[in-house]
Chain A
Amino acid sequence: MPVLYESPQTTPEAVALLSKSKGKVHVLAGGSDLLVRMKGGYIEPDVIVDIKRIKSMNVIKKTADGFLIGAAVSCARLGEHAALKKAWPGIVEAANLIGSDQIQGRCTIAGNLCNASPAADSVPAMIAAGASAIIQGPRGERQVAVEKIAKSPGVTTLKKGEVVEAILLPPKQKKSSDAYLRFTPRTEMDIAVVSAAVSLTLGAKGVIEDARVSLGAVAPKALLVKPAAKAIIGSTLDDEALEKLAAACAAACDPIDDKRGTIHFRTKVAQVLAKRAAKIAWQRAGGK
């Protein structure tokens, strides 16, 4: 069967193509995962649906519900968006760690999410931020928390015909911020061995009112670690709170053991990174 390349102009057209086409249908956003898999012969699409010509998927919009980042917006563009960078520095720093400048010129955070790699850089940052995916499908729109998109490595909970249209970041609270850190053997062009993201909001006297903590590459998918958030809520991020945070992260880790990192190493580094990310987010939020 000959391969088809489609570049719909609107979301309904894309949904129609995705739900009605026969054979293997793949969404092309940045292509930095899809084309690599095609090159290696791991997948052979019958239909490629390029979403980059859909206007609504190509914009970063500030709405009453928060920042809406179109699924086709490249990570490089996130880095060029001053207001977004100011509101969600952790998200942007995670997105700008993916691959090289060349890769960032193409790759998207929606694609990063749907590729469902446990080591995806932007996913822990999105989870910590409380982001959700706006999904369009044959049965209309639904909004799902990003931590619920990946099921297992390479597998998502998206149904046939569905496509992520945008990522919605919640409205930015006063005195809040986020941070993302990863460990890689190389400084650039590498995949996280362990990663951690923390988002938090400060109340009166610098006490943490709300927080979310996420870990990457320590389980089959990026984790939202609620006990870790609980460990620092109500504190001023003192040493005791940080140790509790680390302990909660360690308890959540269920990593693989391979040459890039042993179970012991990954668990240890997850704790260190979570503590450091929390400190950075705290400072960014105005904590002193």
Chain B
Amino acid sequence: MSLVVNSTINGDPIEFSCEPDETLMDALRNRVGLKGVKEGCGTGDCGACSIRLDGALVCSCLVLGAEAEGRSVETVEGMSDGPKLHVLQSKFLEHAALQCGVCTPGFLIAAQALLEKNPTPTEEEIRYGLAGNLCRCTGYDKIVRAVQDAAKVMNKSSKRKKTSGGKK
């Protein structure tokens, strides 16, 4: 029997129904229509279905849809600010950090979580931080460079915000 789940998805209150043993990945894709959440393995190995659940980076294939009740979910569809791309999205484009693109949504979400936790990661920290995401095409180097560059830009703009905030 289906359950009704109420959660906040990309900032909006969303109600969806799902089976008790249905994964959040399937529910997001097939019930809510957020197909940017990709299934690569369904077993937590590839990271293509990465989302934020109450801020925590998780594989949505290892979460039940029912668990999202009352919780907040963030997916790649919620990353940009209207038509304005998130810095990570722009940097992935600029550095050609994607090829087939099926792993890209997961990488972006994981990179976002990484930079929130550690705004100035070293290359090694980026590689460890993104170890839960598999990419078959790029060889990872361009992804690492895109994240490094995004971190730089994000730190500059947050400094600017702080200074301008101080003047007020």
Contact = CB atoms under 8 A, between A and B. Distances in A.
Whether both chains belong to one complex is answered with yes
Interface of A: 2-5, 7, 28, 30-32, 35-36, 38-40, 45, 48, 50, 52, 74, 76, 99-103, 105-106, 187-189
A102 B58 contact: yes
Interface stretch (B7-15, B37-45, B148-156): B37-45
Contacts of B58: 102, 105-106
Contact of B132 (A3, A36, A102): A102
7 contacts: A3-B20, A7-B69, A35-B63, A36-B44, A39-B42, A50-B66, A105-B58
A32 B132 CA distance: 13
Nearest to B53: A105
Given A5-B3, A35-B62, A48-B64, A102 B21 contact: no
Contacts of B45: 189
Most chain B C-beta atoms within 10 Å of own C-beta, residue among A2, A38, A50, A103? A103
Contacts of B64: 5, 28, 31, 35, 48, 50
A35 B56 contact: no
Interface of B is mostly: mixed
Given A3-B20, A38-B21, A45-B21, A106 B63 contact: yes
A39 B57 contact: no
Contact of A105 (B43, B57, B128): B57
Given A99-B132, A100-B132, A32 B44 contact: yes
B21 A48 contact: yes
A39 B42 CA distance: 7
* Interface footprint category on B: 20 to 34
Contacts of B77: none
Contact of A103 (B1, B20, B21, B62): B62
A92 to B, nearest CB: 15
Contacts of A48: 20-21, 64
A36 B56 contact: no
Interface in B33-88: 42-45, 47, 50, 53, 56-59, 61-64, 66-67, 69
Contacts of B104: none
B90 to A, nearest CB: 23
B119 interface: no
A100 B67 contact: no
Contacts of B59: 102-103, 106
